[in-house]
Amino acid sequence: MSTGDHDRGREIVQAISEGLNCMANLRKLAKANEAPPPECVTELDAMEYAFQGVRQGIRDGAVETDFVADDALMTGVRAVRGLVLDWLSTGRAPPDLVPQIEEILARMGITVEYLDSEP
């Protein structure tokens, strides 16, 4: 593996990690009826781009994952991004935001029980 590939892999992992943290935070903020940070939109964009990189890596045989980076996952991330944009413009979290986030997080192995146990 070249240094460039290693760096790209690290960027992908970091973007997915930040996106998951962003989603967990958005879930918490929506439940508390608090405003989301605008930078979450950028983090969700980076997460979607990272999932595209994972898909390409799987196709090329360079990546193995415990999750499926399929169209449904990327569509879910785009949907959450759109709901966050709505939230930012209206000041109210859309009612379907939390279930959408929970579905994506569950696909990544993060349960509601785990999220609810976090301080």
SS3 61: coil
**pLDDT tens, 23-43?**
999 999 999 999 999 999 999
**pLDDT tens, 70-81?**
889 889 999 999
The answer to whether the beta carbons of residues 101 and 80 sit under 8 Å apart is yes
CA dist 43 and 81 (Å) reads 9
Q: Residue 102 gets which letter from DSSP?
A: H
The answer to whether the beta carbons of residues 47 and 15 sit under 8 Å apart is yes
Q: Where are the domains of the chain?
A: 3-114
Residue 4 pLDDT exceeds 90: no
| pTM (predicted TM-score) | 0.86
Q: What is the reported pLDDT for 57?
A: 75
CA dist 14 and 1 (Å) reads 18
**pLDDT tens, 56-107?**
777 777 767 777 778 898 899 999 999 999 999 999 999 999 999 999 999 9
Give the CA distances from residue 48 to residues 31, 34, 52, 92, in Å, rounded to whole numbers and listed in that order: 24, 24, 6, 24
